[in-house]
Amino acid sequence: MSVNIRVAIPIIGGDSWYAGVSLVESIVKAAAYLPEDERPQLFLVVTNDTLPSFSLHQPFISYFDAVIFVGNNIINAQATIKTPFIHYISMDELFEKIDLLFPVNTKVYPGHCAASWIPDFQHRYLPFLFSQKECDSRDKTFGEIAAQAQLIMLTSRAVEKDFHEFYPSSAAVTKVLVIPTLPNEEWYTADSVEVQKRYELPDRFILCCNQFWTHKNHIALFKAIALIRSQGQDVHLVCTGFNLDYRDPDYFSKLQQMIVELGITDLVHILGLIPRRDQIQLIRRSMFVVQPSLFEGLSMIVQECQVLGKTIIVSDLDVHLEHEYGIYFQRTNFQDLAKKISELLPTSQPGPDLPREIQAKIENTTKMNSFSQELYTFIKQSQIIFNKIPQPTNSETATPLPNIPTITIATSLTISKNLDIQKQAISSWVHLGFKVVSINASDELVVLQPHFPNVEFVAAQRDARANYGKPYIYFDDILSYLAKQDCRICGIVNSDIHFLRENLPALIYQNALDSLVFGSRIDIVSLDAPAEGQIFDGFDYFFFDNNVLPRFLPEDFCIGLPWWDYWLPLNFLSNKRTIKKIITPVAYHIIHPCAYNLDSWRVLGLNLAKFYGEPANVSSNILADLQHSIFSVIQTSAIPISLT
């Protein structure tokens, strides 16, 4: 990426929400992992309102190329920032000088190159924690973002799924950036015992780093501590965090009263808001951490425990499950929380655990390198979305979009199908810049190769003609081939599918990272009248990230036969991977006679049915019902995406 790409990062956090500061720190430090020719210019944007929070960004200010102040309070800005800065009067002036502003927290700048960020939809799940006025205000703001934003950044797959569920008609491109925590070296070298002693804490304690807000679920944690005491065991609990919930100003005093009533005042140590460096050392020194929250959009404490090799007990929120780290408990069940704490206590010791920290540092370096590339891709894709990089024009040859890595599509061309239709279909792929590979039986290659000069042919080591009468290629073999290729995003597409979308590779690439993207075809009589087609109740094209491809059990599914199109998304779902369904018409299929063998439909259907506990002799009617049910499961589990 040219250094001329100018990325402005606004201050979004402060004393009462330090996670916003940490998020900005992680983004700017991740950019430092990029090669010099890919690293954008980075600017910290400060406004009149965010000047008080500028000092919190001082420890990592050197990672920015410059500071930009937007506003008219120039005297205060000079006194606060102290060093030279760029000054713009308005946001409109700022947008004239930059290429991207992000993350824009719960706000939208229509017509400008800005990526809006929606942290979560807590008010939809826990409306009783908000006034009706605030619920209405959030719905209005999020609705404006959904309607007006071109690009929306989300920090978890759970929030992305919520967004598409609540705003299914939004044309915005959504991108999940799970922003990892990048630790300072001081995190591992500071004296955690000294910090413990300074706060006069016992040697053995567990830690909860949450603001004292209603949804943080301290009530369940305090009840769990009391229950453990009633069972004959004491555990000291240390709590850090801001002690004012604007939605319920009396909440903290209610918690204090509860502690007294539960008889655990000697066990609960409330420190309030403490310096970030002290909080990190208390995480290290603790036996383990507890995060009991009822709702999170980010939950950085889980990532902090990961980079410190610290055990954490977390509530069973989807956003926590995505991290695949920690011990989970039922978030509305304090008895379950007490059980999990009690089970850990006998084997837990005060930290730091140096061997685990060393291993965590190594793993986090790999994670940051990976995230830096995701950040690079996100920034690059934003320039395409906002038309700062020109879209490709029609040409006679394949022209991939600038700097979009080539996507390989694997298919299996067939002699029995109409060759002219397949030629047209493959030409549409090649024109868009896809690399096309066809895997076929050796005896088919001689016939097919002269007709498809732009296709790379691969001889299959086996085929399914002994089982199904024709040389169908096993789906497992196609996956095995793609897994060995040097391409992050790969596709599997039926050979008679026409793609009629000029910017499809870029749109596929940005949505398929860490995910499976798939869709249904439109059955048409002629390519001259694509608008008159009907949607087919099946799936004909798939694109996925090779980095998150699940491990598949060997099965007999074949491309060109029934059921294989269910097998791929079901495996992604069972491995807790994100699946996304394209709802925009992009794939077209010219109707032709089709003669599936009922026996192969039944045999392959039974292969899939066994994973649902169905008996081997299930009737065809039940199998048809199962097919409908599986289709519905895939449909409802997928995040719907529109390609604009």
CATH number at residue 322: 3.40.50.2000
Residue 533 included in any domain: yes
Residue 466: pLDDT over 80: yes
DSSP letters spanning 191-210: -HHHHHHHTT--SSEEEEE-
Residue 39 included in any domain: yes
Mean pLDDT on 623-629: 75
Mean pLDDT on 457-470: 89
pLDDT of residue 395: 34
Token duo for residue 545: 């990230």
**Both 281 and 413 in a single domain?**
no
SS3 489: strand
- Residue 591, CB-side half-sphere exposure with 13 Å CA sphere: 12
**Both 193 and 135 in a single domain?**
no
Phi-psi region of 387 (alpha: psi -120 to 50; beta: other; left: phi over 0): left
* Residue 592 domain boundaries: 408-641
Bridge pairing between strands 541-545 and 515-519: antiparallel
pLDDT of residue 594: 58
**Count of structural domains within the chain:** 3
Question: Could you tell me which of 481, 549, 476 has the C-alpha nearest to residue 515?
Answer: 549
Can you give the CATH number for the domain in which 561 is found? 3.90.550
pLDDT tens digits for range 142-200: 999 999 999 999 988 889 989 999 998 888 888 888 888 888 889 999 999 999 999 99
d(CA 564, CA 517): 15
**Both 137 and 209 in a single domain?**
no
d(CA 388, CA 412): 37
pLDDT of residue 44: 96
pLDDT tens digits for range 79-108: 999 888 899 999 999 999 999 999 999 999
Residue 568: pLDDT over 80: yes
Residue 595: pLDDT over 90: no
**Both 118 and 231 in a single domain?**
no
Mean pLDDT on 547-555: 76
**Both 209 and 296 in a single domain?**
yes
DSSP letters spanning 243-275: ---TT-TTHHHHHHHHHHHHT-TTTEEEEES--
Residue 394 included in any domain: no
Residue 598 included in any domain: yes
**Both 244 and 331 in a single domain?**
yes
- Say if CB 451 and CB 423 are below 8 A apart: yes
Residue 609: pLDDT over 80: no
Residue 358: pLDDT over 90: no
- Say if CB 251 and CB 216 are below 8 A apart: no
Residue 301 included in any domain: yes
Q: If pLDDT is split at 50, 70 and 90, which confidence band does 323 have?
A: confident
**Both 131 and 18 in a single domain?**
yes
Residue 445 included in any domain: yes
Q: Is the pTM of this model over 0.85?
A: no
Q: Which of 332, 352, 372 is the last residue in one of the domains?
A: 352
pLDDT of residue 554: 73
pLDDT of residue 146: 94
Token duo for residue 642: 């529109």
Q: If pLDDT is split at 50, 70 and 90, which confidence band does 616 have?
A: low
**Both 611 and 568 in a single domain?**
yes
pLDDT of residue 2: 46
Average pLDDT, the chain: 87
Residue 409: pLDDT over 60: yes
- Residue 152 amino acid letter: I
Q: Within a 10 A sphere around the Cβ of 85, how many other Cβ atoms?
A: 18
pLDDT exceeding 90 applies to what percent of the chain? 47
State the DSSP code for 616: T
Q: Which class for 494: exposed (0-12), middle (13-18), buried (19 or more C-beta within 10 A)?
A: buried
pLDDT tens digits for range 224-276: 999 999 999 999 999 999 888 888 888 999 999 999 999 999 999 999 999 98
Question: Could you tell me which of 200, 210, 212, 278 has the C-alpha nearest to residue 236?
Answer: 200
Q: If pLDDT is split at 50, 70 and 90, which confidence band does 369 have?
A: confident
Token duo for residue 302: 């889980």
**Both 437 and 464 in a single domain?**
yes
Residue 1 included in any domain: no
Residue 528 included in any domain: yes
Mean pLDDT on 564-592: 85
Q: If pLDDT is split at 50, 70 and 90, which confidence band does 281 have?
A: very high
Q: Which of 320, 352, 384 is the last residue in one of the domains?
A: 352
Place of tokens 């209610």: 254
Highest mean predicted confidence (pLDDT) among 277-281, 301-305, 439-443, 507-511: 277-281
Q: Which of 129, 155, 176 is the last residue in one of the domains?
A: 176
**Both 153 and 265 in a single domain?**
no
Mean pLDDT on 503-509: 86
Find residue 408's DSSP bridge partners: 435, 490
The residue with greater pLDDT, 48 or 321, is 48
**Both 169 and 198 in a single domain?**
no
**Both 42 and 191 in a single domain?**
no
